[in-house]
Amino acid sequence: MNAAAFAELPDDPGLRLVWPTPNHRLFDQPERYFARTRANPDYGRPGWTRECGRRFHRGCDIAPVAPIPTGQRTWVMFTDCASGREYSSEEPTWLADDDIFAVAGGMVTEALTQPDVSTYGCHVVVQHAWPASGAIFFSLYAHLASVWVNQGDHVKPGALLGRMGQTSSSADARNWMAIAPHVHVEFHDADGRPFNPEAFLRRYLPAPPPRPDDCMTMR
């Protein structure tokens, strides 16, 4: 991953995020937190994770807790990164059914409900402020099936924004989301520079409680 492609995260310990979806596996089971395909386990992670490291991914794609099988299949083109050879594969398709929440309080600056207008499909953008400096940053939630807020709304941390879906103006993107359903999440500073969303979530989400097997037994 090319860290230089992302803006540096501010040192603001006052920011405490809320989980953007019911999937809370980031810290203990990241392989189940990010969307993945059979050929690319890093498909949903940020950075140079697409097309064998040739395409940069600004967001992170958070997988649903329990994707629903459709019983149908679709064809996609995978790439063998060792040889560069492309090959077609018929893959099972899935539906997502998770709610999407605002990671912090703020104001909705965009609430697009027309799925064919943007490659982000139906999406929501929320403007927030860093607690220490008051500087602005933004969070984006894309490919939603439904949007339940309006532009100009003021939302609290954890406010319900919409429902995970597979919307996009790109038919190819919709096809990939059928085999790897997710919500695409991004974070940007006031100048539009992206933060590494995985690092952002890891730094500002509450630390998970220790598991019982991590604790020493008192005798």
* pLDDT, tens only, 86-119: 999 999 999 999 999 999 999 999 999 999 999 9
What are the C-alpha distances in Å from 81 to residues 11, 47, 77, 78, 96? 37, 17, 13, 9, 29
* pLDDT, tens only, 149-197: 999 999 999 999 999 999 999 999 999 999 999 999 999 999 999 999 9
pLDDT of 98 reads 98
Q: How far apart are CA 67 and CA 64, in angstroms?
A: 6
Q: How far apart are CA 27 and CA 38, in angstroms?
A: 22
pLDDT mean over 125-136: 97
What tokens were used for 102?
């605002």
**Percentage of the residues of the chain whose pLDDT score is greater than 70:** 93
Apex 27 CA angle, 56 and 40, nearest 5 = 40
Collapse the DSSP code of 31 into the 3-class scheme (helix H, G, I; strand E, B; otherwise coil) and give the result: helix
pLDDT of 203 reads 96
Question: Within a 10 A sphere around the Cβ of 55, how many other Cβ atoms?
Answer: 9
The model's pTM is 0.93
- On whether the CB atoms of residues 136 and 190 are closer than 8 A, the answer is yes
* pLDDT, tens only, 74-84: 999 999 898 88
